[in-house]
Amino acid sequence: MSQEKIRVAAVGDLHCTKAGAGKFQSLFSQAAESAHLLLLCGDLTDYGLPEEAEILAAELSVAVARIPIVAVLGNHDYESDKAEEVKQILCAAGVQILDGDACEIEGIGIAGIKGFAGGYGRGALGPWGEPAIKLFVNEALQEALKLEAALAKLRTQKRIVLMHYSPIEATVQGEPPEIFAFLGTSRLQDPLIHYPVDAVFHGHAHRGSPEGRTVNDIPVFNVAKPLLQRLYPERPPFRIFELERPDPVADV
């Protein structure tokens, strides 16, 4: 691999089940050979079960000793109300999981959140009416605030964001329009306007589009594993993104 660039591999929606043993080792081994850093964009497990997380942790062992791995959880990881256990198992295996916080690896600043739903632009759900609607919208607002707080901590030249839900409509195009509002929200885009980054990676939209751009021209990549497998069957199911290696004396 070039020493002039940092190669980032990203994939989401692994949906590891109790029968997942042996199904991911090749993917993680190839990622470790191809990149300096691996990002996992949520839905790491299928039902959010500790047993699934244990299997995924074992599968990740082929890569975790070779490259750093940073992840966020997705909606499936919350299904069984054991998300904290899932997180603890993966963290113990060497995966760094972000939830409104940030880290720095190889001079690259990384901010991560799960994100939430709510819709895009004029179609975004507003906080009006029944308490349940207000709670739903507030969840999206809180996730956006978490991302803003994480981005505000970064002082690196190069910055990337990972999340599960999409911050733009372009990368959910291809899904039924009726479910766009459940695949993400443009509220997650607002912090990216105030704190621009080099790239955003997300999953969740299995039948969406592979890339798009925010209103301020930040590239956004949908790295849902089912999507990558369908669009690029000849490639390993992860996205590679290259960044110029930062000047270590230039960060402030």
Q: Which one, of 74, 185, 201, 86, lies nearest residue 140 by Cα?
A: 185
Give whole-number Cα distances, 203 to 10, 157, 159, in Å: 10, 25, 19
pLDDT exceeds 80 at position 66: yes
β-strand pairing of 37-41 with 5-11: parallel
Q: What is the total residue count of the chain? A: 252
Q: How confident is the model at residue 1 (pLDDT cuts 50, 70, 90)?
A: low
Return phi, psi of residue 19, to 5°: -100, 20
pLDDT of residue 251: 52
Q: Which long-range contacts (CB under 8 A, 24 or more apart) does 209-214 make?
A: 209/170, 209/171, 209/172, 209/173, 209/174, 210/171, 210/239, 211/170, 211/171, 212/168, 212/169, 212/170, 212/171, 212/173, 213/168, 213/170, 214/167, 214/168, 214/189
- Over range 42-52, report the average pLDDT: 98
Q: Is the pLDDT of residue 79 over 60?
A: yes
Q: What is the mean pLDDT of residues 166-176?
A: 98
What pLDDT is attached to residue 246? 80
Burial of 65 (0-12, 13-18, 19+ CB in 10 A): exposed
Residue 245 pLDDT > 90, yes or no?
no
User: Which superfamily does CATH assign the domain made up of 5-244 to?
Assistant: Metallo-dependent phosphatases (3.60.21.10)
> Is a pLDDT exceeding 80 seen at residue 247?
no
Which of 156, 157, 145 shows the shortest CA–CA distance to 113? 145
What percent of the chain is modeled with pLDDT above 90? 94
Residue 19: how many other CB atoms lie within 10 Å: 10
pLDDT of residue 82: 98
